Amino acid sequence: MEIVETTDYEGNKIKYKKYKGRAFHLQTFGDVGNQLRMVDTFKVRPDDVFLCTFPKSGSHWVGNIINALITESSKYLEGPLTLEFHDLTTADEDKNQRIICTHLSYPFIPAAVKAGTGKVINVLRNPKDTFVSAWKFFSSMVNIGYAGNMDGFFRFFLSDEFYMSASWFNYVKEWTDGKANNPNMQVHTVWYEDLKADLYSEVSKISKFLGTRNDEKFLREVESIVSFQSLKTAHETDAGAVDRWKDICKDGRLPIYRKGVIGDWKNELTVAQNELIDSMIKEKLAGYNLNLRGKRSLSEFKLQIENTDRVQIENTDHLFCDRVQIENTDHVFCDRVQIENTDHLFCDRVQIENTDHLFCDRVQIENTDHLFCD
């Protein structure tokens, strides 16, 4: 392991631990090589739940959902065992059912987990909001291995040097491949945006995956325990302060609960930054569409169209839908069905069916970024 200190062309300073070509945060426990060996051989129990998240994707949110489901209580979960940040030698002393977190990319998770022991919940979020959340988070703390401006952090975040064991792109790729290639691994994927769209249904899916209580009354209680405001309030009490983080933030209370919205990137990213991240998504995730989309479970959205000249869905951010469907229309006379300029249109199918006399010059889907679609 070596400690790398670099300065970019604008004078922004980056410092991290490097091991076998990969970058790890300075807060990684001790020697990275030793820690990764401990993680690889970690003694996993069948009832362990591994919360595997790219940082700032909603880890605390999902962690508290899992905790409420498992413990059937409203006790706030803070500072659970985190594979890369904690001393693992005493991990076996905890005799309760464990929620074990990690931001490590797929190659580094325990071998036993890959082979199917324990359950994994993998949490992801749109990279633009993830970046903004990460920038606000890291720049409000000290000793975090970055001293500089937002644009420098943006380039660092996009690079393979990003110090959370992988860039967002590599993290998504490695986890997508890991899930596809290890059918024995018990894994359920959660997207931040889906939690925002329909929390109840996502909590219900997590509960079914974990095999916890699943009646509506209980799930509604869990939904309310993990609302943004409830978690924020709980985090501001003693429960939110942890010794482990005392050297990076006041009282050891990580600045987690900020806005909790989708699309804050529009207030923060410049046009150039937005274009850069878009082009990188296209380039880096080429060929990964189906895997990403396939893990999503989205609420149905029906678009019904009759007798219009033009049907147009445009400039939407985050249109998450199972299907865009035009059906059972009698005599639709329309010039164009057009879906354009959408960012992140995740949809299983765009389908036009059972139309009698659909007179339509063009059905056109254009300029969509990240159209994940069969």
Give me the residues that bind ligand A3P (CB under 6 A), please.
53, 55-61, 129, 133, 136, 226-228, 231, 256-260, 264
Asked if residues 334 and 306 have their Cβ atoms less than 8 Å apart, the reply is: no
Q: Which residue is nearest to ligand A3P (CB)?
A: 260
Min dist. Cβ of residue 37 to ligand A3P (A) = 26
Dist CA 48 CA 43 (whole Å): 10
Min dist. Cβ of residue 7 to ligand A3P (A) = 27
3-state secondary structure at position 279: helix
Min dist. Cβ of residue 134 to ligand A3P (A) = 8
Residues 6+ apart with CB under 8 A from 190: 58, 62, 121, 122, 123, 124, 202, 205, 206
Residues 6+ apart with CB under 8 A from 280: 158, 169
Helix (H) or strand (E) holding 37: helix 32-40
- Estimate to the nearest angstrom the gap between the alpha carbon of 280 and the chain centroid: 17
- Estimate to the nearest angstrom the gap between the alpha carbon of 147 and the chain centroid: 25
Min dist. Cβ of residue 197 to ligand A3P (A) = 11
In this structure, the dihedral spanned by the alpha carbons of residues 5, 7, 13 and 17, taken in order and rounded to 10 degrees, is -20
Q: Name the residue among 322, 323, 317, 318 with its Cα closest to residue 297.
A: 322
Per 3-state DSSP, what percentage of the chain is helix, strand, and coil (rounded to 5)?
A: 35, 25, 40
Asked if residues 253 and 240 have their Cβ atoms less than 8 Å apart, the reply is: yes
Asked if residues 192 and 57 have their Cβ atoms less than 8 Å apart, the reply is: yes
Q: Distances in Å between the alpha carbon of 152 and those of 136, 155, 156, 162, 169? A: 13, 5, 6, 12, 18
- Estimate to the nearest angstrom the gap between the alpha carbon of 203 and the chain centroid: 15
CA end-to-end distance (rounded Å), the chain: 44
